[in-house]
């Protein structure tokens, strides 16, 4: 923001106005008082000199310091997201109005000085100042103790649902790391995510998924804009300061429409109390939003504080997606489990990292999924009702076991335990897509995108059922959104290119393929685009590079490029290699449009049947998912 806007935000301009008006009042009182005491006029000039000297000091003070719920603090030490400047500004406005009223009163009284003694004038001014203080204290505060609004008695009497009982929507933003060590950021982010996960377990509260909420990390975005983009009524934000085993957590609940602070609180505790703090914050959010719970409030699962810190750090590293970060995350998860062997979240996290490594070609398929399965099995052995464990086994059944019936059983159970989890619903959408139930897949993924609207992966996933169902414009729009949100989103450029090829827009398809961030995806895409443009040498060159560098991890993709180019025999040869390498892409083979050229070949249906993907086999698999309300 501009310098003048920053002056206004810190209330420096208002402080200047208030100081000038107050100074004029002080001079009037001093003039009357000193005259009554028969003091020389030099005393009035002395007061004027002091006030003039104090003016720049008052401005500097209002720039440097801020009044917060915890008292006076240096502005640079106050997290911008935690600022109470707007509340202070409202109180300064009241003071200015009252001071102007006092000024008018003094002028009137001055005209009556022939009939009113000086002590009466001073008494009136003092009474008006007391009234000003009372008025300022009555200004609504952002701190606990604010007078709650009256309930909607008319709606209650009529037996209708009041606004306070309707489902609320909230976004939990990443907490700001206020620790002296920047590497403690994993802890502040982790606490915010744990609180988000806890709130998600309240069915009466719609909580925006982590990816969308955390997309605002480090950005100077107004709360109203966040509310509009995420379609939420409230935002929860905060900060964390960690030093040794002490932690200070400050949170505030903000009304998105107008930025009004409903509630704020600061917790100074030890790490042993961090789970209790999460429960207290969740309970206060429920109370402030007037959410009527139909079941017991969820509580955070406690574990050893040291293991918890290791878990948060491991999860933070695992999301970085690099080979080194994955290995570091695995080591930290293992350290956490050495301290707390029954720590389910750590087993879930370890399983997730093994899957991510394998999906990115950083660990052999058989080894990676075996390790992931073992970790998920361990989590389910500790708690058979762990939804993440069932979801993980469902995913492994899709991409490795090629057992879609088993995947259906696991994902149905996972959604029975946690029906609104966006990650589980996303996996369910992939399974519905692989089963050829494209309308159901699109509906599931649309639900996920609505609750995680700035998640590039969600938009990319939504594009697939659109593409397979022939909804090409919708598919292109979804892939384009994914690339806008994340230009490096793997596969989005290639799939948008495929949709454009199916529309006959070959030049645009080539441009989309060139935009693809993944080298392997890009090579396959360019091979298809150049072929469609009649550029055989370029197509052959790109396909040859792909075969040379990605044979074992992209055999399925090479197969559909060959099918698209009309090379039927080679396409079947590479499909057999995909089976040999257990390529996860085979889960999509029955509905992938790039294989359209070989559907009429007599080998097609027998091949599908050999891997359990024939139309009859897929139709026989029971998979029933109901979207949450």
Q: Are residues 404 and 500 in the same domain?
A: yes
**What is the share, in percent, of the chain residues with pLDDT greater than 70?**
84
Instruction: Please report the pLDDT score of residue 380 as a whole number.
Output: 97
Q: Are residues 180 and 110 in the same domain?
A: no
Nearest to 497 by CA among 486, 489, 508, 488: 508
Q: Are residues 47 and 133 in the same domain?
A: yes
Instruction: Please report the pLDDT score of residue 202 as a whole number.
Output: 86
Instruction: Please report the pLDDT score of residue 295 as a whole number.
Output: 72
Let me know if residue 26 belongs to a domain: yes
φ, ψ of residue 72 to 5 degrees: the values are -75, 125
Instruction: Please report the pLDDT score of residue 525 as a whole number.
Output: 97
* DSSP structure class, residue 400: I
Mean pLDDT of 378-403: 95
Name the domain count of the chain: 3
- E strand or H helix that includes residue 42: helix 42-64
**Which residues, at least 6 apart from 369, have a Cβ–Cβ distance to it below 8 Å?**
354, 355, 358, 396, 399, 400
* CATH code of the domain containing 179: 3.40.50.10070
Using the predicted structure, report yes or no on whether residue 446 has a pLDDT greater than 70.
yes
The SS3 call for residue 66 is strand
Mean pLDDT of 522-551: 96
Of 302, 336, 355, the residue that ends a domain is 302
Work out the burial of residue 577: count CB atoms within 10 Å of its CB; fewer than 13 is exposed, 13-18 middle, 19 or more buried.
middle
Q: Are residues 128 and 167 in the same domain?
A: no
- The span from the CA of 100 to the CA of 115, in Å, is 24
Token pair 């206004």: residue: 8
- The span from the CA of 119 to the CA of 285, in Å, is 52
The SS3 call for residue 189 is helix
Of the pLDDT bands very low, low, confident and very high (cuts 50, 70, 90), residue 147 is: very low
Of the pLDDT bands very low, low, confident and very high (cuts 50, 70, 90), residue 160 is: very low
Other C-beta atoms lying within 10 Å of the C-beta of residue 85: 18
Let me know if residue 158 belongs to a domain: no
Q: Which of 121-135, 259-273, 578-592 is the most confident on average?
A: 578-592
Higher-confidence position of 478 and 126: 478
Q: Are residues 415 and 537 in the same domain?
A: yes
Q: Are residues 465 and 515 in the same domain?
A: yes
Mean pLDDT of 303-316: 93
Higher-confidence position of 378 and 97: 378
**By 3-state DSSP, what share of the chain in percent is helix, strand and coil, each rounded to 5?**
65, 10, 25
Instruction: Please report the pLDDT score of residue 262 as a whole number.
Output: 85
- The span from the CA of 313 to the CA of 328, in Å, is 9
Of 550, 569, 597, the residue that ends a domain is 550
The SS3 call for residue 68 is strand
Most distant CA atoms of the chain, gap in Å: 117
Instruction: Please report the pLDDT score of residue 71 as a whole number.
Output: 61
Using the predicted structure, report yes or no on whether residue 103 has a pLDDT greater than 90.
no
| Lowest-confidence pick of 206-210, 429-433, 543-547, 566-570 | 206-210
Let me know if residue 495 belongs to a domain: yes
Let me know if residue 584 belongs to a domain: no
What's the chain's length in residues?
A: 629
- The span from the CA of 167 to the CA of 203, in Å, is 9
Using the predicted structure, report yes or no on whether residue 181 has a pLDDT greater than 60.
yes
Q: Are residues 83 and 216 in the same domain?
A: no
Instruction: Please report the pLDDT score of residue 437 as a whole number.
Output: 95
Instruction: Please report the pLDDT score of residue 94 as a whole number.
Output: 72
Of the pLDDT bands very low, low, confident and very high (cuts 50, 70, 90), residue 622 is: very high
- pLDDT tens digits, one per residue of 332-368: 999 999 999 999 999 999 999 999 999 888 898 899 9
* Structural domain range at position 202: 163-302
Instruction: Please report the pLDDT score of residue 145 as a whole number.
Output: 32
- The span from the CA of 384 to the CA of 372, in Å, is 17
- pLDDT tens digits, one per residue of 472-520: 999 999 999 999 999 989 899 999 999 999 999 999 999 999 999 989 9
φ, ψ of residue 242 to 5 degrees: the values are -115, 130
Using the predicted structure, report yes or no on whether residue 285 has a pLDDT greater than 70.
yes
Q: Are residues 406 and 523 in the same domain?
A: yes
* CATH code of the domain containing 438: 1.25.40.10
Q: Are residues 26 and 111 in the same domain?
A: yes
Instruction: Please report the pLDDT score of residue 4 as a whole number.
Output: 64
Q: Are residues 120 and 187 in the same domain?
A: no
Let me know if residue 58 belongs to a domain: yes
Of 103, 138, 173, the residue that ends a domain is 138
* DSSP structure class, residue 290: T
Beta partners for residue 74, in sequence order: 65
Q: Are residues 439 and 542 in the same domain?
A: yes
Instruction: Please report the pLDDT score of residue 76 as a whole number.
Output: 64
Q: Are residues 456 and 508 in the same domain?
A: yes
- pLDDT tens digits, one per residue of 553-593: 899 999 999 999 999 999 999 999 999 998 989 999 999 99
Using the predicted structure, report yes or no on whether residue 78 has a pLDDT greater than 80.
no
Alpha-carbon distances of 2 from 6, 8, 9, 548, rounded to whole Å: 6, 10, 10, 55
Let me know if residue 345 belongs to a domain: no
- E strand or H helix that includes residue 242: strand 234-243
**Which residues, at least 6 apart from 22, have a Cβ–Cβ distance to it below 8 Å?**
99
Is the Cα dihedral 211, 214, 219, 225 positive or negative?
Answer: positive
Mean pLDDT, the chain, integer: 85
Instruction: Please report the pLDDT score of residue 337 as a whole number.
Output: 97
Let me know if residue 150 belongs to a domain: no
Using the predicted structure, report yes or no on whether residue 141 has a pLDDT greater than 80.
no
Contact call for residues 422 and 451 (beta carbons, < 8 A): yes
């Amino acid at each position: 923001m501009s310098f003048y806007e920053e002056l206004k935000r810190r209330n420096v301009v208002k402080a200047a106005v208030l100081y000038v008006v107050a100074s004029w009042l002080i001079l009037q009182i001093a003039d009357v008082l000193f005259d009554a005491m028969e003091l020389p006029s030099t005393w009035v000039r002395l007061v004027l000199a002091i006030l003039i000297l104090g003016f720049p000091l008052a401005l500097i003070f209002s720039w440097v310091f801020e009044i917060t719920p915890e008292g006076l603090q240096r502005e640079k030490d106050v997290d911008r997201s935690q600022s109470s400047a707007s509340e202070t500004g409202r109180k300064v406005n009241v003071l200015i109005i009252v001071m102007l009223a006092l000024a008018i009163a003094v002028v009137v009284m001055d005209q009556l000085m022939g009939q009113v003694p000086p002590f009466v004038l001073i008494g009136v001014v003092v009474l008006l100042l007391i009234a000003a203080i009372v008025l300022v204290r009555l200004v609504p505060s952002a701190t606990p103790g604010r007078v709650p609004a009256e309930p909607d008695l008319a709606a209650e009497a009529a037996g209708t649902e009041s606004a306070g009982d309707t489902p609320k929507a909230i976004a939990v933003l990443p907490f700001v790391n206020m620790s002296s060590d920047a590497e403690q950021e994993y802890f502040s982010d982790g606490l915010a995510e744990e609180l988000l996960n806890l709130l998600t377990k309240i069915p009466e509260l719609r909580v925006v998924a982590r990816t969308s909420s955390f997309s605002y990390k480090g950005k100077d975005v107004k709360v109203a804009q966040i509310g509009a983009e995420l379609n939420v009524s409230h935002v929860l934000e905060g900060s964390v300061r960690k030093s040794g085993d002490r932690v200070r957590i400050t949170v505030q609940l903000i009304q998105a429409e107008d930025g009004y602070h409903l509630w704020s609180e600061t917790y100074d505790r030890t790490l042993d109390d961090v789970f209790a703090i999460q429960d207290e914050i969740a309970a206060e959010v429920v109370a402030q939003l007037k959410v009527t719970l139909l079941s017991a409030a969820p509580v955070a699962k406690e574990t050893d504080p040291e293991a918890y810190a290791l878990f948060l750090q491991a999860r933070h590293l695992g999301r970085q997606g690099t080979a080194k970060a994955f290995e570091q995350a695995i080591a930290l998860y293992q350290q956490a489990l050495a301290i707390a062997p029954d720590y389910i979240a750590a087993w879930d996290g370890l399983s997730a990292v093994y899957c991510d490594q394998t999906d990115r070609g950083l660990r052999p398929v058989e080894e990676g999924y075996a390790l992931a399965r073992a970790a998920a099995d361990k989590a389910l052995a500790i708690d058979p009702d762990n939804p993440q464990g069932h979801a993980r086994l469902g995913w492994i059944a899709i991409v490795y076991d090629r057992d879609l019936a088993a995947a259906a059983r696991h994902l149905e159970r996972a959604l029975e335990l946690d029906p609104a989890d966006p990650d589980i619903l996303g996996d369910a959408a992939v399974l519905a897509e692989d089963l050829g139930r494209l309308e159901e897949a699109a509906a599931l993924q649309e639900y996920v995108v609505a609750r995680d609207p700035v998640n590039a992966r969600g938009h990319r996933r939504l594009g697939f059922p659109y593409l397979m169902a022939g909804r090409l414009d919708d598919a292109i729009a979804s892939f384009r959104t994914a690339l806008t949100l994340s230009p490096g989103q793997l596969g989005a450029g290639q799939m948008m290119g495929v949709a454009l090829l199916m529309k006959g827009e070959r030049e645009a398809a080539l441009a989309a393929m060139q935009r693809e961030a993944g080298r392997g995806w890009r090579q396959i895409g360019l091979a298809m685009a150049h072929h469609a443009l009649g550029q055989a040498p370029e197509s052959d060159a790109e396909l040859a590079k792909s075969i040379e560098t990605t044979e074992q991890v992209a055999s399925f993709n090479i197969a559909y490029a060959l099918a698209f180019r009309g090379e039927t025999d080679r396409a079947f040869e590479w499909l057999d290699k995909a089976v040999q390498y257990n390529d996860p892409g085979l889960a999509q083979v029955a509905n992938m449009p790039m294989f359209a050229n070989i559907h009429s070949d007599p080998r097609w249906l027998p091949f599908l049947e050999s891997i359990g993907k024939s139309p009859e086999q897929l139709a026989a698999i029971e998979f029933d998912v109901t979207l949450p309300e």
